Chains A and B, each alone.
Chain A
């Protein structure tokens, strides 16, 4: 049976959660935009509809982190482990699209799911794995998807549970959040704060239908299929003529996961840093020789589209795009991935 949380009890719940975890990350308003930040007081949290400017992926995959530090002395080098990750973290307010995007990050950085952090295969990202294990996701269903949203076009739903440990769906008419435990972590969370939740017969069906009905964008049929043959075929030159070559689309995307590694330091020492990178940048594939296999912006844009809609499904069996619409809304020149995919596959 489903559980319900009274609307006015939400902050009590979050306050209790915050006391248990080391860190609560949730959407807040800052300088006129909505962002996920670690919050001190739960009153700072905004529950406004719509998406944050970018997803919460940096909780698990920070935009910049040190892999190790080094000190040089004479001829010797001393290595030092970076600080441990942030510890137990709860993310509140993850939209179902963002939460669903975790499947991509998991597939790339922790392909074996979430095993014992110390027993993972070599090629897993230990930083990601450790953070993932320590993070609980409380999803918050969308009632009012925006004009850029198209999760339903890629087979997801504004009230979908994928990726969340616990999903809250607001049912304003009933004055409650419908709470669904999706994973064991979610179950534990419910159990730990059982006094705040009541049993209910309410369902989210109506909310789901209403929310899905708001999404105007057409379904992308046969995703993964037709694109397989379209490397050369569609008029990428025309589709991407206006693309400026920035990395905004990748950095706001919940599933983009490319990174670069550099050493930052001086003669005495420094850090090896890993930080976000984007296939939209000309330098992304530039070789030392000067050769660049993706020499033009259309070629780079094509990579972005095909990576999401063909390569990720083919190689990892995951959906590369979750339809959050952020890249569409963020792009300075309105490069619209949904429009492009619809055009080239339709």
Chain B
């Protein structure tokens, strides 16, 4: 454009009332700053979706700046508070995916801070110019850097002898009673799968069919996925739930997907489930072993076998990688994604009738299962579950490409816990963390 040096393209999303006006003030005050920033004006930071940041990166922006009113000054009273929470999580997610954090900028610039705007643009431009062009296009691996592989040490599965059988018997008793008494029309539980060492969801509607139901370490699916669906048979539905599955029902209650009285919960005290012949990693240190909402709780839980969640170590290892390695780690996994959406279909909290991935006008996520399409899909999926995911493991278990989706979900759950002291699936009366705010939410990443 001007010379041979790299001239970055920087997209700035700014609110109309503070930063846009501040930028105007910089103009009326004739403050000089670099010409690399393209402002996109929106009414409020509340309207500046974090996904716009992703879209800008997808479209090749070298840097992205988001700026709005200082806390307390929002023209709409609270848009910036809500936005701040969203950016807190989204930013961490992008970092975890290997986006260079130095390319993303957040600031509060008031209508009176023309100087601040001019200085900010100069600093942002300088920073991005020094970083140079993006290392790779959105969803494409960085060349010349191998995708690191992670391995995990399987934890052997051990359940106290006889516990499953006794629980199964009590569960069937309860199911029969519910059906015989007409209290429910359908019981959704587990039955033997057609492959050795598997179980699968089963819908039974007569006491006689109940004998098909099983309960064992293979019952890993989260049956809450059927909770918000209309049953084929008339009457209420009873669900056989593990404690983690039950947490997703809390989310459904918070989001008005069903009412507590619409469903009967047969709660199973938990001993963990199996995954590939070993204890599922998420079960190793799980503290939620006994259902809290369920109508009956069947059996006694066994305590967790590990003190630390083995997956946290994996997360730590990912965080130790250089951003480019982290990026390639994820691109390596996402490159296998077929966009079969099994992760979404198996998720009990993905209840949208029309997923954003299927919104064609405009298209938020490139439709094809290619680099950009897969990365955007997985980013949106994880983002939409931030503060909502209850770590039931259904998405990872469903993925035919073995993408470790749980790592993303778990990372975001950690961020939410650290930033907002919130755990999903605990309190049906709690406001979901991305629909509320505190005036003193941390904001050290905002300049």
Contacts and interface: CB of A to CB of B under 8 A. Distances in A.
Do any CB atoms of chain A lie under 8 A from CB atoms of chain B in the complex? yes
Contacts of A276: 338-339, 369
B165 to A, nearest CB: 22
B380 to A, nearest CB: 16
Contacts of A262: 360, 363, 367-368
A323 to B, nearest CB: 14
A227 to B, nearest CB: 20
A242 B401 contact: no
A332 B232 contact: no
Contact of B397 (A250, A273, A332, A336): A332
Interface stretch (A31-39, A40-48, A155-163, A306-314): A31-39
B203 A281 contact: no
Contacts of A225: none
B194 A334 contact: yes
Given A31-B149, A63-B338, A64-B368, A330 B402 contact: no
Nearest to B202: A242
A237 interface: yes
Main secondary structure on B side of the interface with A: loop
Given A53-B401, A278-B340, A281-B341, A241 B369 contact: no
Interface string A140-167: 0000000110000000000000000000
B232 A63 contact: no
Contacts of B149: 31
A32 B402 contact: yes
Interface string A299-323: 0000000000000000000000000
B195 interface: yes
Interface string A181-208: 0000000000000000000000000000
A238 B354 CA distance: 25
A246 to B, nearest CB: 4
A207 to B, nearest CB: 24
A247 B358 contact: no
Interface stretch (B109-117, B122-130, B342-350): B342-350
Interface in B215-233: 221, 225-226, 232
Most chain A CB within 10 A, of B201, B336, B338, is at B338
B198 A334 contact: yes
Contacts of B400: 53-54, 248, 251-252, 330
A330 B194 CA distance: 12
A145 B74 CA distance: 65
B336 A35 contact: yes
A247 B367 contact: no
Q: Interface extent on A, as a size class?
A: 35 or more
B200 A242 contact: yes
A49 interface: no
Interface in B186-239: 193-196, 198, 200-203, 221, 225-226, 232
A64 B397 contact: no
Contact of B402 (A31, A241, A283, A329): A31
Contact of B201 (A35, A273, A333): A333
Contacts of B118: none
A64 to B, nearest CB: 4
B366 interface: yes
Contacts of B49: none
B251 interface: no
Most chain B CB within 10 A, of A242, A266, A276, is at A242
Nearest to A245: B345
Contact of B332 (A31, A54, A238, A247): A31
A339 B433 CA distance: 45
A334 B200 CA distance: 6
A283 B356 CA distance: 13
Contact of B369 (A53, A245, A248, A275): A275
Contact of A244 (B342, B368, B370, B401): B342
29 contacts: A31-B332, A31-B333, A32-B402, A147-B195, A148-B195, A242-B202, A244-B342, A244-B345, A244-B346, A245-B345, A246-B340, A246-B341, A246-B345, A247-B340, A247-B342, A252-B338, A252-B400, A264-B366, A264-B367, A264-B368, A273-B370, A275-B370, A276-B338, A276-B339, A278-B340, A281-B341, A283-B354, A334-B200, A338-B194
Interface of A: 30-33, 35, 53-54, 63-64, 147-148, 237-238, 241-242, 244-248, 250-252, 260, 262, 264, 266, 273, 275-276, 278, 281, 283, 328-330, 332-334, 336, 338-339
Interface of B: 59, 149, 193-196, 198, 200-203, 221, 225-226, 232, 332-333, 336, 338-342, 344-346, 354, 358, 360, 363, 366-370, 373, 394, 397-398, 400-402
Given A53-B401, A251-B340, A262-B368, 16 more contacts: A63-B338, A64-B369, A64-B373, A238-B203, A245-B345, A246-B398, A247-B340, A251-B400, A264-B367, A264-B368, A273-B367, A329-B195, A333-B200, A333-B346, A334-B198, A339-B194
